[in-house]
Amino acid sequence: MPNRNTEDLKSRLVEYMDREGLRSTAQRRLVSDVFFKSVGHLSIEDMLEKVRAIDQGVGYATVYRTLKLLKDSGLAFERHFGDGVSRYEVADEGEHHDHLICQTCSKIVEFEDDEIERLQEALARSHGFELRRHKHELYGICADCRAK
Amino acid sequence: MPNRNTEDLKSRLVEYMDREGLRSTAQRRLVSDVFFKSVGHLSIEDMLEKVRAIDQGVGYATVYRTLKLLKDSGLAFERHFGDGVSRYEVADEGEHHDHLICQTCSKIVEFEDDEIERLQEALARSHGFELRRHKHELYGICADCRAK
DNA sequence: GTCGCTGCAAAACGTTTGCATTTAG
DNA sequence: CTAAATGCAAACGTTTTGCAGCGAC
């Protein structure tokens, strides 16, 4: 139950599909609806499971291609956390965050730090780079796991 | 020609192998020597090519397993830059750096910023985490590519 | 001589694509 | 009707492993 305006996301997707001349199909609506209502970082398998709970006729490739579509439209971020699996996350507008990951229990905490953002922007500029995006992941052991 | 004490790295590897009861073989010595003399971020294929220039009998699996050994011993870092390929880098002691990557020409600039390090340490602590390692990658367009 | 290591080839793994069929527009 | 989307299965690229023979100790 994310606190999120899924209607807005849906209409942005429709706009994108209109613009690109893509068709609105039952599968795309199902996959994108399920995705927009999800929290966290979902693999294709995760999505397939959720989607098949509603319609088990949906194929892996369709989920894969719809997630790609969502990524291309800017409505999903694709993440890689070191295991070989791609994960997808709803790209809430304006919101941005990095990740703090527990190496023991795999808990993922999201964070944002304006000061770090500012410093990395400055750093990129000082090396002549125009910064487009970044990946900042902190790996450690969370308080719960240390307590055990 | 990295400015690096390869003898030290070699002896640390020998220590590790002794401790673990592993054997010193011609292939392991060759692969690790080539690796320690290398700069940058090498894929298994890169390493295989360099190694086979000296002894073309060496198999892919041996390079793979030796790189894994180097990673386990703490003498190599494994990196993932988003294409599906694992890359390895010599883990010089004390030295640490993050990466600034040009999205156009794939140039990789290494950086280190103590202030960012300090902030991320504080941030992890404030979330109850004991920080073990981190990944900080900045993607953008370098000056050369923007000039074109 | 033992048991770990090598090289090969094959398996595994997640991702991506070709194609015949279905379906939105 | 037409072209795009689907589902399947197969292709892909990379990583990982089983195993027979080889070699360090």
* pTM (predicted TM-score): 0.73
Statement: residue A93 has pLDDT above 50: no
pLDDT digits (tens, 9 = 90+) for A20-36: 999 999 999 999 999 99
Statement: residue B93 has pLDDT above 60: no
Instruction: Give, as ranges, the nucleotides of chain D with any atom within 7 Å of a protein CB.
Output: 4-9, 13-18, 23-25
* Residues of each domain in chain B carrying CATH 3.30.1490.190: 98-147
* Residues of each domain in chain A carrying CATH 1.10.10.10: 6-90
The class (CATH top level) of A98-147 is alpha beta
Instruction: Label residue A43 by pLDDT band (50, 70, 90).
Output: very high
Statement: residue B83 has pLDDT above 70: yes
Residue A131 · residue A124 · CB < 8 Å: yes
Task: Provide, as residue numbers in chain A, all residues whose Cβ is less than 8 Å from the Cβ of B134.
Answer: 136-139
Higher model confidence: residue A144 or residue A61?
A61
Burial label, B33 (beta-carbon count in 10 A; 0-12, 13-18, 19+): middle
Residue B119 · residue A119 · CB < 8 Å: yes
Q: Do B136 and A133 touch (CB under 8 A)?
A: no
Distance between CA atoms of residues A115 and B94, nearest Å:
25
Statement: residue B95 has pLDDT above 80: no
pLDDT digits (tens, 9 = 90+) for A107-145: 888 888 878 888 898 899 889 988 888 889 898 888 988
The DSSP secondary-structure symbol of B105 reads T
Please give the nucleotide, over all strands, whose C1' is closest to the CA of residue A84.
C14
Comparing B66-70, B96-100, B140-144, which segment has the lowest mean pLDDT? Answer: B96-100
Residue A130 tokens, joined: 């125009």
B66 beta carbon < 7 A from strand C?
yes
- According to the model, what pLDDT value does residue A109 have? 87
Interface probe with B: pick from A127, A137, A145, most Cβ of B within 10 Å: A127
What is the pLDDT averaged over residues B114-132?
87
What would the DSSP string read from start to end of A90-147? E--TT---EEEEETTT--EEEE--HHHHHHHHHHHHHTT-EEEEEEEEEEEE-HHHHH
Q: Taking Cα atoms as reference points, which of A132, A136, A41 lies closest to residue A98?
A: A136
What is the pLDDT averaged over residues B48-62?
96
* CATH number, span A6-90: 1.10.10.10
- Please state the separation of Cα B7 from the chain's center in Å: 18
Q: Do A134 and B137 touch (CB under 8 A)?
A: yes
